[in-house]
């Protein structure tokens, strides 16, 4: 179960703090594509080799439904994740996909990101880079479509598809599950994320997050950012909530005062 105060609509626990970590419990990593997950895998695999974490299940892409299916009553689990600004993640996903075999005949292979987001034919041919939900809420709500490289529990697909159609409810489920994380980080705030990681895992020093995928993409002009944001309203909502939740956890870590954040408004 989570070490943090749960979602407002759930029963509140007495202590919102990270409890003493039982390192023999399985720790799953909910790896959202293009959010720095390869670096997290590398960091934790190193801690496993040092004996500081006993059981780590990562190095693949899981959504929440897969992780939950491994939990109670069979075994109590913990899970962690890391989030990224959805617009930055979309850009990274686009340029990463340009190099993949699955896009070898696609228009986007010859386009810049700015050209791609203005080309309806190209976006229809390859939507994943700017598909709302790919940056967080499909994964955390446990409703990811379950393509070959994403592990889900492969159950209740009809119910999951119904939840996907109700974006507001889907976002609430995702936010509720984010509250259950033992730890989550923000790629845009690695220093504080790693300090909370140190605290959560009872390490002696703040770990340095390895940088595995080094990419330098053109900076997007403001008009491009606004255009992309229209496609990613759900992921942006979740990311805004994640930032509030992160600050609440940080404030408790520093000041021992925890105030659970209000949910952002829905458009």
pLDDT for 15 equals 44
Burial-class residue 120 by CB neighbours within 10 Å (0-12, 13-18, 19+).
exposed
Query: Which residue is listed with tokens 């989550």?
Result: 184
pLDDT for 212 equals 64
pLDDT for 31 equals 96
Domain ranges of the chain: 27-88+136-216+231-255
- Per-block average pLDDT, block size 10, for the chain (267 residues)? 40 42 73 94 93 89 90 70 97 92 93 95 93 95 84 85 90 94 95 95 92 74 95 97 96 91 86
- The token duo for 214 is 């080094």
pLDDT for 4 equals 39
pLDDT for 34 equals 93
- Four-point Cα dihedral 64, 66, 72, 77, nearest 10: -70
Q: How far apart are CA 182 and CA 6, in angstroms?
A: 11
- Smallest CA-to-CA distance from 86 within 243, 194, 267 is with 243
CATH 3.40.50.300 fits 27-88+136-216+231-255, yes or no: yes
pLDDT for 215 equals 66
pLDDT for 161 equals 87
pLDDT for 25 equals 75
Burial-class residue 114 by CB neighbours within 10 Å (0-12, 13-18, 19+).
middle
Q: How far apart are CA 79 and CA 37, in angstroms?
A: 13
């Amino acid at each position: 179960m989570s070490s943090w105060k749960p979602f407002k609509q759930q029963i509140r626990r007495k202590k919102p703090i990270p409890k003493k970590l039982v390192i023999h419990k399985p720790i799953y990593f909910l790896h959202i594509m293009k959010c720095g997950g390869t670096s997290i895998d590398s960091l934790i695999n190193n801690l496993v080799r040092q004996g500081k974490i006993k059981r780590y299940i990562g190095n693949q892409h899981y959504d929440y439904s897969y992780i939950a299916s491994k939990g109670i009553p069979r075994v109590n689990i913990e899970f962690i994740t890391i989030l990224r600004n959805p617009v930055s993640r979309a850009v990274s996903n686009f340029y990463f996909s340009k190099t993949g075999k699955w896009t070898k005949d696609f228009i986007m292979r010859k386009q810049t990101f700015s050209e791609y987001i203005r080309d309806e034919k190209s976006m229809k041919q390859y939507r994943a880079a700017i598909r709302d939900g790919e940056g967080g809420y499909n994964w955390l709500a446990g409703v990811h479509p379950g393509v070959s490289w994403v592990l889900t529990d492969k159950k209740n697909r009809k119910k999951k598809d119904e939840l996907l159609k109700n974006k507001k409810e889907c976002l609430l489920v995702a936010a509720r599950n984010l509250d259950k994380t033992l730890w989550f980080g923000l790629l845009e705030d690695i220093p504080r994320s790693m300090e909370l990681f140190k605290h959560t895992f009872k390490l002696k020093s703040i770990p340095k997050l390895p940088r595995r995928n080094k990419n330098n993409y053109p900076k997007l002009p403001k008009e491009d950012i606004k255009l992309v944001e229209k496609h990613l309203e759900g992921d942006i909502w979740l990311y805004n909530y994640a930032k509030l939740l992160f600050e609440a956890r940080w404030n408790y870590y520093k000041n021992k005062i925890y105030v659970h954040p209000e949910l952002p408004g829905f458009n």
